Structure 1
Amino acid sequence: MPLPLASSAAKSPKSRRRRPGPGRLVLSGVVAVLLLAFAASIAIGWYFSGFATQVTHEPVYDLRVRAVADGTVTLPRTPATERRGVFALEWPDGGRAIIGDVVGKGESIAGMDPKTIVRKVTSVQSGKLEPGLTVGLDHWVYAGDPKKALGLDFQNVTYPTQVGAMPAWLLPGRTKSSTWVIAVHGRNADRAETFRAMRTAHDTGMPMLSIAYRNDQHAPPAPNGRNMLGSTEWNDVASAISYARSQGATGVILYGWSMGGSMVMSALRHAPDQSFIHGVVLDSPVLDWKATLHKQGAARHLPGVETDVAMRLLKWRYDIDLGAMDMRPFAPHLKTPVLLFTADDDEVVDNGPSDEFARKAPAGMVTHVSAAGADHTEAWNVDSAAYERALTGFLGKAGS
């Protein structure tokens, strides 16, 4: 007959539980901390990889108008509001005003808040600009369609893609049988981003096709509904090239802003006939996503190792191969002339890969214009005259 467990435990020394020593306690604590750190790292990387691929088109209104008087507007002083050049203010219900350079700073004007800035109001295009309005600063400047924004005639067209019929604006040139400019906006932007180049392109006489691509508003979505950082979206650029050819184009000049720059470079690299692409214009392009994501992670105080985890998760979750979108290895083999605009104060994209791309390209293939005092895609805003001179010269040579 077996003894009761309590009695057995009392009589058998082997059954006594040993108290863990301090070394084992420390080891257990270290393991627990490492597991927690690993879980936290995965969680942060999961969030950041999801954020990077998020599709959003919501406007941001983060400034409050302090005063409006004598053709000026007073705004809170920020790095963006005190930047020189031409911008727009937009507010809910379609309000928009175009503003010019800074004409005064709060600390130099008696009775004014030193944390304010005064800018010239060039025009109020819609709505009423008045004190108390919550507005956003818009570096695209113009809104609407090419006719409303710039007085340029255009056609609403669609071009076929892998995911469906895609809308585009076609600004006619002197003839369809010529080189076309295909304009590609950046991540979570829209075709309005291309307005700033339209007058210059139109003046050359070349047709310009400003395209929407997957996940844009009023455009077919990607199969997974995610922004794929250009890794699949470049196929829509390739489709636009085919459309231009079908309409009589004798060649194209690809023009990309930000992520659109990555997309047009991918389209160039994968083009079955690169000779049909007569030139490429890049404005604040993403030429290496790894460098740019590290820059954006650092801006959010994210340790580099966490950004590395997020980039691995981009591959695991969405099959985005960031290494395949590093354009620097392609630079020595470049045979297509490139006009490259970068912004010295770019807070979004790392300029290092663009600088390296320009250095590694064959002599004379890359014309690099660096805009002092400009933030992301704001080279035109801070000095439109210099931007348009460079663009006119490049388009004239590439389009001939």
Structure 2
Amino acid sequence: MTTDAAASPAPAPAPAGPPPRSARRGVRRAGAAVLALAVLLVAALGGVGWYFAGVAIEVDHAAEYPIEIEDVGDGTVTLPREPFTERAGTWALVWKGGRAMLGPIVGGDGDHVVRRVASVTEGQLAKGVPANVDNWLYDGDPKTALGLEFQDVSYPSELGPMPAWLVPGSSPNGTWVIGVHGRNADKAETLRVMRAVHATGLPMLSIAYRNDVGAPASPDRKNHLGDTEWKDVASAVAYARSQGATGVVLYGWSMGGAMVMTTLRKDPAFVRGVVLDSPVMDWSSTLDKQGDARHLPRFVTNVAKRVLQRRIGIDLRDFDQRRYAPRLRTPTLMFTTADDEVVANRPAFAFAKAAPPGMVTHIAVQGDHTEAWNVDPAAYERALTSFLTKVR
């Protein structure tokens, strides 16, 4: 009988010793490299975020002239064909020391557009001069630009006296319109609507605010996206009240719209109505739009938004007006443009939809940022006049 011998037990494995010194060095080097790369990526991400946030809060009043006048002659001007040079509507052509009112397109080709020159109000048109197309249309002051009598006034604020234009109405005792321009703009942005407002008999106070040319600067000399600037609007309301106003209509363009909405939320009692033109109804969405335009990954834009909130102490959630729309009790006229390349439009549409029925009159037209008036001045002014007549 055959039997199998029991298998010998396998030898116990030798206890593992420390890795060779060279291997340990390699692991440490790899770990250090990964850590260094992570630090560099975080630094780069933070740097991009810091830069983008800085762009958003930068105070910059410099004029830009991105095109060159190609030719001038026989009451026309030839410009490079760009989306902003070929738009129908009412526009000005501006250059350093000059301004002309543009008429309709009368010719051109694939690379050029020829427009009629309605008038030259300042300077002299010349070939080869750097220029830009201006949707503000007017420059100067209400008297030089529009022939309207006005007063240079100042209203008290927490930073000191702020300059403003006061175009008197039929009486100082009644409803005033307070015009609030957009980010890095100035009072001239409000000139387009002054004739229409004046025709209603309402006084119009067009204000400068902190960091404007000729106005006191904020302590950090930064733009706070309306988070502190709204206080100047509130100060202007107090000034109007001290001069006989029994109510106000707040009229804001772009960031001015964000300022107006914050002022309304803080103290709605004295506000008879609100007019918004291409308003910022959500800064977070608008910053996303600006980041996308710069081809930034969304996570980089999110970092930039966190950096921005820390730099200027803003909570972007406070500027999502959609949250407050159901509580709106002040009649509001709002203009938006389909091709707005600056401000996100969807929050404005959502705000109008979420507000109580009949509280928001929303007029959506073609055009770019704050160009609703330029596209069709007569239609814009009819809507504005009708609204002001109802809420005065």
Q: Alpha-carbon deviations, 1:131-187, whole Å to 9, x = none?
A: 111112111010000000000000000000010000000000000001000000000
Q: Structure 1 residue 103 and structure 2 residue 106: aligned?
A: yes
Separation of aligned partners in 2, 1:43 and 1:311 = 13
Residue 16 of structure 1, CA deviation: 6.3
Q: Deviations over 1:96-122 (max 9, x none)?
A: 10112222231xxxxxxx311111211
Residue number in structure 2 paired with 1:49? 53
Q: Give the C-alpha shift of residue 35 in structure 1.
A: 2.2
Match for 1:203 among 199, 205, 219? 199
Matches within 5 A, 1:181-196: 181-196=177-192
1:394 aligns with 2:392: no
| Structure 2 counterpart SS, 1:275 | coil
Cα RMSD after superposing both structures:
1.6
Say if 2:13 is the partner of 1:17.
no
Q: What amino acid is aligned across from residue 343 of structure 2 in structure 1?
A: V
Choose from 126, 139, 157 the match for 2:135: 139
What amino acid sits opposite 1:301 in the alignment? H
Matched, 1:331 2:325: yes
* Superposition deviation, residue 24 in structure 1: 6.9
Secondary structure of 2:93's match?
strand
Matches within 5 A, 1:51-66: 51-66=55-70
Per the TM alignment, residue 237 of structure 1 is displaced from its structure 2 partner at its CA by 0.3
Residues matched between the structures, number: 376
In structure 1, C-alpha distance between the alignment counterparts of 2:43 and 2:214, rounded to whole Å:
39
SS in 1 for 2:364: strand
Q: Per-residue deviation at 1:233?
A: 0.1
1:177-220 residue CA offsets vs partner (Å, 9 max, x unmatched): 01000000000000000011101000000000000000000000
Q: Classify 1:240/1:15 alpha carbon distance in 2 versus 1 (closer, same or farther; 3 Å).
A: same
2:89 and 2:103 mapped to 1: Cα distance? 6
- Alpha-carbon distance between aligned partners in 1 of 2:152 and 2:303, rounded to the nearest angstrom: 43
TM-score, normalization: structure 2?
Answer: 0.93
1:218 aligns with 2:214: yes
Residues 1:343 and 2:347 are matched in the alignment = no
Q: What's the counterpart of residue 174 of structure 1?
A: 170
Helix, strand or coil for the counterpart of 2:152? Answer: strand
Indicate the SS of the match to 1:152: coil
Give the stretch that moved more between structures: 37-46 or 20-29: 20-29
User: 3-state DSSP class of the match of 1:187?
Assistant: coil
Secondary structure (helix, strand or coil) at the match of 1:164 reads coil
2:122 maps to 1:126: yes
Q: Is 2:281 aligned against 1:287?
A: yes
User: In structure 2, what residue type is equivalent to 1:291?
Assistant: S
> How far apart in 1 are the matches of 2:255 and 2:370?
11
TM-score by length of 1: 0.91
Q: Aligned equivalents of 2:373 and 2:269: distance in 1?
A: 29
Higher alpha-carbon Rg: 2
SS at match of 1:41: helix
Residue 32 of structure 1 corresponds to: 36
Which whole-Å CA distance do the structure 2 matches of 1:198 and 1:347 have between them? 26
* SS of structure 1 residue aligned to 2:137: coil
| Code of the aligned partner of 2:379 | A
- Post-superposition shift, 1:86? 1.1
Aligned to 2:81: 77
List alignment gaps of at least 5 residues for structure 2: 1-16
1:152 and 1:86 map into 2 onto residues whose CA distance is 20
Using the alignment, how far apart are the partners of 2:371 and 2:310 within structure 1? 34
Q: How does 1:223-262 map to 2 (within 5 A)?
A: 223-262=219-258
Give the whole-Å Cα distance in 2 for the aligned partners of 1:23 and 1:394: 73
Superposed displacement of residue 224, structure 1: 1.1
1:320 aligns with 2:314: yes
Runs of at least 4 residues off by over 6 Å: 13-16, 21-25
- Residue identity over aligned pairs, in percent, reads 57
SS at 2:120's partner residue?
strand
Letter in 1 for 2:107: G
* Aligned counterparts of 1:222 and 1:294: Cα–Cα separation in 2: 26
Unaligned runs of 5+ residues in structure 1 are 1-12, 107-113
Asked if residue 380 in structure 1 is aligned to residue 380 in structure 2, the reply is no
Give the 3-state SS of the residue equivalent to 1:255 in structure 2. strand
Residue 317 of structure 1: how far off its partner (Å): 1.6
Question: Following the alignment from structure 1 to structure 2, what is the Cα–Cα distance between the partners of residues 265 and 46?
Answer: 28
1:8 paired residue number: none
**Secondary structure, aligned partner of 1:367:** strand
Amino acid at match of 2:78: T
Match of residue 358, structure 2, among 360, 364, 382: 364
More divergent stretch after superposition (251-260 vs 59-68):
59-68
Amino acid at match of 2:90: V
Shift of the alpha carbon at 1:29? Answer: 4.4
